[in-house]
Structure 1
Amino acid sequence: MPGPHIAADSGAVDSLSSGNLTIVGVVAAVAVVALVVAAVFRREVLAAAEGTTRMQEIAKAVQEGAAAYLNRQFRTLGVFVVIVFLLLFALPGDADVRIGRSIFFVVGAAFSAAIGYLGMSLAVRANVRVAAAARDKGAEDAMRVGFRTGGVVGMATVGLGLLGAAIVVLIYRADAPSVLEGFGFGAALLAMFMRVGGGIFTKAADVGADLVGKVEQGIPEDDPRNAATIADNVGDNVGDCAGMAADLFESYAVMLVAALILGKAAFGEEGLVFPLIVPALGAVTAVLGILLTRARTGESGLTAINRAFYISAVVAAVLCAIAAFVYLPGSFAELTDATTSDANPRVVAIVAVVLGIVLASVILALTGYFTGTDKKPTQDVAETSLTGPATVVLSGISLGLESAVYTALVIGAAVYGAFLLGSGSVVVSLFAIALAGCGLLTTVGVIVAMDTFGPVSDNAQGIAEMSGDVTGKGARILTDLDAVGNTTKAITKGIAIATAVLAATALFGSYTDAWQTAVDDTGVSLASLSESLQQRFTLDIANPNNLVGLIIGAAVVFLFSGLAITAVSRAAGAVVYEVRKQFRENPGIMTGKTRPEYGRVVDICTRDSLRELATPGLLAVMAPIAVGFGLGIGALAAYLAGAIACGTLMAVFLANSGGAWDNAKKLVEDGAHGGKGSEAHAATVIGDTVGDPFKDTAGPAINPLIKVMNLVAVLIAPAVVQLTIGDDANTAVRTAIALAAVVVIVAAVTVSRRRGLAAATSNAEPEAASLAR
């Protein structure tokens, strides 16, 4: 039987009171202030010294490569944006809503692209400044420049996310949730493409550079004699900065979308406003967290970052509790157009938000435990290097598998805890889950800062090593900051995964409401339908349609991950052949007399990554369309459940395995188990090479994948209902749509597989390998 109708007992919110409109206006003002703070932080970062002429030359090459890649990527993605913009008009619904949804789809995509570009453009200027600060001033100044760079991106993420949502609410009032579906979809779709494309670029260059440079030639990671070094540093920015910034922005946007959709049904008018108040307070605490991130003398940078994060989280929890008591009444009877529930709205809001904040804190600690260089799990992985690369790979995989279970259980506990707050009301329970996500995102400004700090510190060390102008204490500072950055990147990936699950779960409720509302609009009772048609609406997992949908949902996550990792393998193979070719044909490179052709590798990574990103993107959009129109509403719900469950475990497994392998390598490079040049070092380099596409390509891309598929389901649900309930002629239309989606998926995967798993089959054909497409 169908599940309970979310909106059945809630009234319609036709407009907002003047008081609530004022509050939304204040939220918009806070968003603008956040953008101003970002501009102030940016000015501070750019005021720092840039180091020596040689350091500036290297930084300039990275800047040019990153800008060239993103410009080509945006031109490619512009085609997808135009196509989806037009398709959104074809969906059923009110004309004004369809127009607004399509327009704000473009706005969401543009904001996501802007955040990514902003993160990249500043990071490639800050890296040399961090290196210069480490060389001339010390650890505290270097860390401040690096973290303030992340602060710029964090405040821009908060500012643009809040501003977009507030503007939609101010313009569309009651219809805001429907229009925001487009805003969230635009942000999620572009973030997924940027995550996949940037991830392929960065890891193709990184893997290629490590395999030839470290393993074959025995030279350091960022040695200027390696032709892939500039591409590697470019990749850090287009993948870890631009990609992750866009990813966290879309998490922010999609969570607000889910919260406002469910808030309208659960809390009425107040449900459209309170989810905006929570992240607005988060913007204030983000500034506090960024300003408090200062390493004390002799203190680890990670300790300073964690301390600032926890302080800002506690302050956010207190402020949100005060806001709930001031803004929300003590009973649902006092809410305008709200659902009926015995729960206390204040208690629901406070506990849900606190749950989200606690979840972020627990995941920060849990991920840090499994991936930190000072923790036993990663130290154990490093120790297995004494017995070779196979045991390094096995220990990293086992660590990832185990950590995924604990993280999934923690996320599941938070989801269930929030669900219990509804006191039997499904809509209130789902809104509580969405509020937990909003609570988690009160820390997003600091989270984005933590993430951007990772690639900035990595690039700073690379510039220092390539230039040869930072030695002694300065080099040691940068090595320490790089290790901290590896851990912060892993932590933010864990938090991003938790956000994705909370948003997807909330969107699952939105999907249920969407299809049930569409059924009501047809005026047809499901009981009057034939038994075969009724089966297409049942949510019973024993229904074969639904079981198949569940399996397909989980399978899509595996296929998506496999496609992303294969793309990295293929592109990295081309890089390996190109770097080998340059070493072979130009002996002067090893002696330092001849400069490598860095641009050749950058071009290979750019072309390959842009070519490869289409297939995973088409899979994410077309798979739910195929299941929904082909198997029915219930099967699509099961599909989403399978994707959420499998995606959670897979994303954590990939992220934590990769993070542990990376930091295990750092431990050995710092002198453990024989240090650089030892067999143990070679073993950890292999482990890190395996982990690169795990943690920086496939794993992070699963987050937007889950949300894109949920949003596609929400958007197509009314059309699926209309074609299912209609006359027999609609069966043919529905079947044709499903088959067309399947054909697109099969064609895309087939084209991808025909490229082969390797760039070439012979070392004797490096030219063909470097140009293999």
Structure 2
Amino acid sequence: MPTTLLADGGGSAVNVNISYVVLAIVLALIALGFAAALVKAVLNTGKGTEKMQEIAGAVQEGASAYLKRQFRTLGIFVVVAVVLLWLLPVHGTDNETMVKLGRSAFFIVGAGFSAFIGWAGMSLATRANLRVASAARDGNRPGAMQIAFRTGGVVGFLTVGLGLLGAALVVMIYKGDAATVLEGFGFGAAMLAMFMRVGGGIFTKAADVGADLVGKVEQGIPEDDPRNAATIADNVGDNVGDCAGMAADLFESYAVTLVASLILGQVAFGDTGLVLPLIIGSVGIVTAILGVVITKLRASDKSGLTAINRAFFISAVVAAILSAGAILVAVPAEWSALGVDIDTEGLALTPQAVAIIAVVIGIVLAAAIMALTGYYTEPEKRPVSDVAKTSLTGPATVILSGISLGFESAVFSALLIGAGVFGAYLLGGGAIMVSLFAIALAGCGLLTTVGVIVAMDTFGPISDNAQGIAEMSGDIDEAGARTLTDLDAVGNTTKAITKGIAIATAVLAATALFGSYNIAMETALTAAGDTVDVTIDALLNLANPANIVGVITGAAVVFLFSGLAVNAVSRSAGAVVYEVRRQFREFPGIMDGSQRPEYGRVVDICTRDAQRELMTPGLLAVMAPIAVGFGLGVGALAAYLAGAIACGVLMAIFLANSGGAWDNAKKAVEDGAHGGKGTEAHDATVIGDTVGDPFKDTAGPAINPLIKVMNLVALLIAPAIVMFSYGDDANPVVRYGIALVALFVVVGAVAWSRSKPIMVGETSDDGEVEKSEKVDA
């Protein structure tokens, strides 16, 4: 007999198998131990020449300064969110005060974990990039790749370790009330990740676009030439955007999927469902360790991507086998043994079969997205080759071909994700809560490979930075430069793949959160009193015009959010262009090396703009659901979420794949295709890449946490909307007053953003820039 915890949570006795919870905590701590061991191993490798160390030190200093400033800004949002969480009502528990306290406390824990993973990913990446460059300089191609991947492995272990640890501690402490407390944990992780994704994305792409347009196109110098004042900012941006931002993003994907699974699991599978997601997460830790350890470049491998793919697919197969074994041990073979209060009569599959197939669907979905995204973004595949070929006819055709590729790939990827969602849904056989839990388990299955996925993603910016350090220092031969170029190209593909997988987790988690939202509405309607005669089905009826408006508004918010992010990059990049042009004009000695560029000014411009510009998208994500929910009702809010998910998945994949294809098409030309560097074809692909930069590294990946933030906000406010709409506590004045305030905040933030000038600088009568805007350090 298993050891159990008996608790009175949510009004009913809850038997939680403490053995599984303790196992999850122990494995989470083991993952953190592996992270510490890999940190030591990475830092013990060679640091290269003194010039390399100097450049890497500047990048590290700039990245640390940016994150410190960003965390100070985000601290304000954290305080406000904690207060709001405390004010929002909680139903379905006998200990409302303790649950509200736990929800607020674990919001801070989730936000703190997300921030720590982002900081740790950035901190180690800014040290590993130097060591990757050093290994390539020494002719150690396998070593260079291993350092980059194992650095990513550290972030992967932190993601699975802290995510599982946080969720397991909530279950251990709060038992039957764990689901409600976990809402705060997931919301904290998602909100911090969204802000870090948007802010870091604006920083990195403003610097990248500005550096490319002036350096490559106007001055005809290489991408990471030290004469370009934006190069240090570009390398800083890779770390604060791709390393810190994406690490926090994938952590919140992991955390929110666990939250949705645990909420639905308690309803669909009873007490077993409260620990099953923790068991699958434990399998993910074993898989992460295996995947990172076996990723090694062989002499026969065509590229680093071959080694990464091999490790990923091996770890995926192992994850499926271990998950099936764990489910057979932990899940009863009969529905009657679960003790659930739902109609399970007539279900063709046993609980074990439902859980195993759902997890396998998630793992297969990850592998399928990896293959499909790779096809559309790998340099050797036809789509990227076709984009590169269009460079012979100019930048317009490069942009058109990349856009068409993005549209096409988004359709196939979205249909693939939809097939995974529907396949998991069918496992419930008509029992809606079982079906929704199966979708959540599919998300858990997909995330059994998250440790390897995070390593793949972090590998990209580290390789990019290593190439930049090597080029800026000049302390590397042709063979070493070739190694770093190859690793950078692989990194572009792995980043596109992880973005595709991240948006798949967003869809699975958001769909599962619909079930949680349904539970929240039902509980709130029950608490409103016996006089309330409205049904859930009536509230969700799409024949209601308010719900149609909700769908349209949800889709529109994704467009507005994307537009704000891209426009923010455009404005900030314009300021960078002006500043770099000014330095070339005022310091002619930069080109012959007799004068040193003022790197710090560009870093300051990007830092200032990123902090200023992230506010509007952040407020939109939080306030728009509040305006729709309190203004149009809980049914319209559900429709709003549906519109945001449908539009968000297509938009995110379109942006990520178009940007990835443009980037690798540029690299194909730089490697000698269609005339190589210095040709009009090269200029055309550089312009395509600068368009794709904010697509793939700012707006596209930020849609992933956006979807989950909006879903969690909706889940949290649903009881309050019902309370002010129905029953004895109904208060239309308060309800519509909240909606108007939220709407006013959204409109004001967007108007403030749109009121800022397109470019930053002082111009003369003929339109020439005379002086860049003064930037405070």
- Structure-2-length-normalised TM-score: 0.96
Query: How far apart are 1:139 and its partner, in Å?
Result: 1.0
Match of 2:504 in 1: 498
Counterpart residue identity of residue 43, structure 1: K
Which amino acid in 2 is paired with 1:69?
Y
> Is 2:66 aligned against 1:69?
yes
Which residue in the other structure is 1:379 paired with? 385
The residue that corresponds to 2:240 in the other structure is 238
- Cα distance in 1 for partners of 2:568, 2:353 equals 48
Equivalent residues in 2 for 1:554-569 (5 A)? 554-569=555-570
Counterpart for residue 6 of structure 2: none
* 2:147 paired residue among 138, 142, 145: 145
Partner residue, 2:113: 111
Write the deviation string for residues 40-82 of structure 1: whole angstroms up to 9, x where unpaired: 0111000000000000000000000000000000000001001
C-alpha change, 1:449 and 1:535, in structure 2 (3 Å) is: closer
Give matches, 1:137-176, under 5 Å. 137-176=139-178
Which residue matches 1:24?
A: 21
Select the residue among 133, 136, 139 that pairs with 1:134: 136
CA distance in 2, matches of 1:539, 1:426: 15
Flag the 1:412–1:729 CA change in 2: closer, same or farther, 3 A: closer
Distance 1:703 1:524 in 2: 39
3-state secondary structure, aligned to 1:14: strand
Q: C-alpha separation between the residues in 2 aligned to 1:103 and 1:711?
A: 16
1:771 deviation in Å?
4.9
User: What is the rounded CA distance, in whole Å, between the counterparts of 2:46 and 2:503 in structure 1?
Assistant: 36
1:309 maps to: 312
Alignment partner of 2:395 out of 389, 396, 413:
389
How far residue 329 of structure 1 moved from its aligned partner, in angstroms, is 1.2
Q: Residues 717 and 766 (structure 1 numbering): CA distance in 2 closer, same or farther, change over 3 Å?
A: farther
Match of 2:48 in 1: 51
Question: Which residue does 2:693 correspond to in 1?
Answer: 692
- 1:123 matched to which residue of 2? 125
- State the alpha-carbon separation in 2 of the partners of residues 364 and 696 from structure 1: 18
Task: Report deviation, 1:767.
Answer: 2.5
Separation (CA, whole Å) in 1 of partners of 2:294 and 2:12: 41
Matched, 1:746 2:769: no
CA distance in 1, matches of 2:12, 2:596: 66
State the Cα distance separating 1:772 from its structure 2 match.
11
Counterpart position of 1:3: none
Q: One-letter code of the match for 2:233?
A: A
8 A contact 2:762–2:770 mirrored in 1: no
Local SS of the residue matching 2:269: helix
| Match status 1:604 vs 2:605 | yes
Counterpart mapping for 1:573-652 below 5 A = 573-652=574-653
2:769 maps to 765
User: RMSD over aligned Cα, in angstroms?
Assistant: 1.6
TM-aligned CA distance change 1:312 to 1:728, over 3 Å: closer
Q: Is the Cα contact below 8 Å between 2:425 and 2:438 reproduced in 1?
A: yes
Superposed, which structure 2 residues align to 1:261-660 within 5 Å? 261-299=263-301, 300-337=303-340, 339-341=342-344, 342=347, 343-527=349-533, 538-660=539-661
Matched letter for residue 639 of structure 2: A
Whether contact under 8 Å (2:229, 2:597) holds in the other structure is yes
Distance 1:337 1:536 in 2: 22
AA at the equivalent of 2:574: G
Please give the per-residue CA displacement for 1:100-142, whole angstroms capped at 9, x wherever unaligned.
Answer: 0000000000000000000000000000100000111421000
Instruction: Indicate the residue corresponding to 2:261 in structure 1.
Output: 259
Q: Which amino acid aligns with 2:643?
A: G
Partner of 1:5: none
User: Secondary structure of 2:265's partner?
Assistant: helix
Q: Letter of the 2:186 partner, please give it.
A: G
Matches of 2:531 and 2:258, distance apart in 1 = 33
Which stretches in structure 2 are left out of the alignment for 5+ residues?
Answer: 1-8, 91-95
What do residues 263-293 of structure 1 show as CA deviations (whole Å, max 9, x unaligned)? 0000000000111000111110111111111
Aligned to 2:731, what secondary structure does the other structure show?
helix
Q: Is the 8 A contact 2:129 2:463 kept in 1?
A: yes
1: distance between equivalents of 2:565 and 2:444? 30
CA deviation vs aligned residue, 1:579-600 (integer Å, no higher than 9, x gap): 0000000000011111101000
- Rounded to whole Å, the distance in 2 between the matches of 1:40 and 1:537 is 56
Q: Tell me, what secondary structure is at the counterpart of 1:16?
A: strand
What is the aligned partner in structure 1 of residue 4 from structure 2? none
Letter aligned with residue 365 of structure 1: A
Quickly say closer, same or farther: Cα 1:673–1:405, change in 2 above 3 A: same
Q: How far does residue 760 in structure 1 lie from its aligned partner after superposition?
A: 4.5
Residue 13 (structure 1) shift = 5.4
Q: Is the 8 A contact 1:270 1:336 kept in 2?
A: no
CA displacement at 1:765 relative to structure 2: 3.1
Aligned pair 1:39/2:55, yes or no? no
Q: Helix, strand or coil for the counterpart of 1:596?
A: coil
1:532-582 deviations in whole A, cap 9, x for unaligned?
xx7995211121000000000000000000000000000000000000000
**Secondary structure of 1:374's aligned partner:** coil
Instruction: Give the Cα separation in 2 of the matches to 1:525 and 1:117.
Output: 52
Deviation at 1:331, TM superposition (A): 1.3
CA change 1:62–1:365 in 2 (3 A) is same
Distance 1:296 1:536, change over 3 A: closer
* Separation of aligned partners in 2, 1:257 and 1:172: 14
Residues in 2 aligned to 1:289 and 1:23: alpha-carbon distance in whole angstroms: 23
Q: Is this contact kept in 1: 2:529–2:728, CA < 8 A?
A: no
Aligned partner of 2:93 in structure 1 is: none
Q: Deviations over 1:371-411 (max 9, x none)?
A: 00010000000000000000000000000000000000000
2:762/2:771 contact within 8 Å kept: no
Match in the other structure for 1:189: 191
Deviation at 1:431, TM superposition (A): 0.1
- Structure 1 residue 16, shift from structure 2 partner: 2.7
2:56 aligned partner, one-letter code = A
How far apart are residue 756 of structure 1 and its match?
2.8
Deviation of 1:298 (Å): 4.2
Identity %: 70
* CA distance in structure 2 between the partners assigned to 1:13 and 1:266 by the alignment: 15
Does the C-alpha gap of structure 1 residues 766 and 121 become closer, same or farther in structure 2, counting only changes over 3 Å? farther
What per-residue deviation string (whole Å, max 9, x for no partner) do you get for residues 337-387 of structure 1?
Answer: 453312410000000000000000000000000000010000000000000
Letter in 2 for 1:323: A
In structure 1, what is the equivalent of residue 677 of structure 2? 676
Amino acid at match of 2:62: G
Q: 1:755 — aligned with what?
A: 756
